């Protein structure tokens, strides 16, 4: 199974908000929060938050394409973040919160472009501003960011911002959830 695994790297605002959605999907092996697309090596969260490094907060998704396709990941991605706001998701503002797909190969680039020009356009009334960029050096976020929602469900940001999104996601995608979700 490990040989057939693929990787997707998506930025849809705060990584805490999108990480728990993808963790619950059948076929997703691992989700890790991190940074990519910037100009310095091994950036810290504090540096990325300044908006001066060029990095985006992203999630790295390792998935089994025999169980879930890249286009299915894109469907979830475009359903549960706003791809029409430039460098912003809710109250999170800055280039680090941009909507971006870092494609790992030409097939992902083709699928991402087609998804934006087709299904995503139908999902949103305003123009899609999601960037499609080639894979760049990826750096895992600090350990306290990993599984943030699962480890801190009662923290106020999690309770008021993330929990409603997770509940909406689980209701909409219940047929595609892992049995333990």
List, by residue number, the catalytic residues.
14
> Is the separation of the CB atoms in 99 and 83 below 8 Å?
yes
Angle at 151 between CA 146 and CA 154, to 5 degrees: 130
Beta bridge partners of 25: 177
DSSP symbol at 1? -
Measured distance between the N- and C-terminal CA atoms of the chain, rounded to whole angstroms: 22
> Is the separation of the CB atoms in 100 and 55 below 8 Å?
no
What six digits make up the tokens of 68? 């879930």
């Amino acid at each position: 199974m490990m040989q057939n695994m693929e990787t997707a790297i998506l930025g849809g605002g705060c990584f805490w908000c999108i990480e728990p959605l993808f963790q619950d999907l059948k076929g997703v092996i691992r989700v890790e929060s991190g940074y990519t697309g910037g100009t310095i090596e091994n950036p810290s969260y504090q540096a990325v938050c300044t908006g001066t490094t060029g990095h985006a907060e992203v999630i790295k998704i390792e998935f089994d394409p025999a169980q879930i396709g890249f286009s299915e990941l894109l469907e979830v991605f475009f359903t549960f973040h706003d791809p029409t706001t430039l460098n912003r998701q809710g109250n999170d503002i800055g280039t680090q919160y941009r909507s971006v797909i870092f494609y790992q190969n030409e097939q992902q680039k083709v699928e991402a472009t087609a998804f934006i020009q087709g299904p995503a356009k139908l999902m949103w009334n305003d123009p899609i501003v999601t960037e499609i960029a080639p894979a760049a050096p990826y750096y895992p976020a600090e350990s306290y960011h990993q599984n943030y929602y699962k480890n801190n469900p009662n923290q106020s940001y999690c309770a008021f911002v993330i929990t409603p999104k997770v509940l909406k996601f689980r209701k909409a995608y219940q047929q595609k959830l892992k049995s333990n979700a």
